[in-house]
Amino acid sequence: MYPTAAPYFVFLVAVCLVYWAVCRIRAARLAVLLVASLFFIAKFGLGCLLLVPVAATLDFFFGRGMGRSESATMRRVLLTCSLVLNVGLMVAAKGFGAKLGWLFTFSLSYYCFQQLSYTIDIFRRDAEPEANFLNYVSAATFFPSLTAGPINRLPDLIDKLKKPFSLDDTRSARALLLIASGLIKKLLIAQFLADNLVNSFLDTPKLYSGFEVLVADWGYAFQLYYDFSGYTDIAMGSALLLGIPVPENFHRPYSSANIAEFWRKWHITFSQWLRDYVYFSLPSERRVAAAKFTNPVITMLLGGLWHGFGWTFLIWGAMHGVALSATRAWQDWRKKLGKTPTAFGRYVAVFFTFQFVCAAWVFFRADSASDALDVFSRIGSMTFSVEHISLAIVLYLAAAVLLHIAPESWFDEAVALFSRTPFILQGAAIAGVVLVLQTLAGKGAAPFAYSKF
């Protein structure tokens, strides 16, 4: 049940109506949320309906055990059990997902990262274990962000579920506009770029000029952004209709002037997770002098392997890791010289950062290193032709760029205006958007790109 499909919105409306009807009784609304989440999981397959609740229950008891134990050894044993469970699930899903398709019917990575944040925080004594199983399991199986993020910190999500339900006119308007924004991003922009530019040009680069392949690589950058941020918008909107804000996951990443800034704006919850639970777990600069430069590489290599066990993802991670270290060295050098960036210098830096990110995306998308090198070879041929670049492609790319750099205040102003409309009309307008976009999508949209990770 993908969030761009009509059945998802029928499901969401039904859940919201029941949830709102019992919203004053916390136990009742959490029970409704839990049943809805289990139903959502069941639509992907009965294997996951068994797997996720069992795994969540085990982590609940691991957390409770760490909270009660004063023994450092026992706490480490329980944390190790949680690590083995969740890392094992991710490895099994990626390594044996094809053979065990009945069991791993959707990516468990986002769920596992969420669970690990819970048990690691308890181990570090940064959070207390949740005593109420209903509070805990409702958060652990929270359906809007279960399959492709954003990655919630489970203690934070549990705290949000405990608070009284709140959904005013502004929140409801923001929620519905986020859903509409997500649909437009996915079904109009990302889908068009994939079908009319990216797939054909990058799958068979030798059939096109070097410039056309370069344009397709730029197009893939925006396809991936609008695909993933579109899902995030729908997840954020769905959660907000239930009175539960979830973290932002994107913040105009292609306006970044360096790779460190890019990772503060791209897949924010994932990069924060890597920072807090991988980077900070490595030897510090005080213990290892070179850690300042080696830790980013190690962290991003692991981030690459999370996307898949292959050379292309490893190379992608290595590129970003080396770039992060190089950025740190460059910034240290400029700081020693007392140099400050200029406005023109920032524009130049944004341009070259975008080109680097696009070069890394070539490996990220390719099925093999050989395929990636074919793309680079064609771009490097320096051949120029725009025979296959239609006016529609130019207009969609221009729209993608303009929407990406549009001031955030525009969305806030739209929310303020939309919030003055009666809620019934708001819902009717969004329903109309869903139907129109589904019609324009024709044969239907492909699954979200990041849902497989």
Tell me the catalytic residues.
307
Angstrom distances, CA of residue 134 to CA of 101, 118, 153, 372? 29, 16, 17, 48
List, as one string, the DSSP characters of 142-157.
-GGGTTT-----HHHH
Residues near 156 by Cβ (< 8 Å), separated by ≥ 6? none
The structure tokens listed for 109 are 């990575």
Scanning 163-209, the segments in alpha helix (DSSP H) are 169-183, 191-193, 199-203
The answer to whether the CB of 319 falls within 8 A of the CB of 363 is: yes
The answer to whether the CB of 115 falls within 8 A of the CB of 84 is: no
Sign of the torsion formed by the C-alpha atoms of 211, 215, 216 and 217: positive
List, as one string, the DSSP characters of 42-107.
HTT-HHHHHHHHHHHHHHHHHHHHHHH---HHHHHHHHHHHHHHHHHHHHHHHHHTTTTTTT--S-
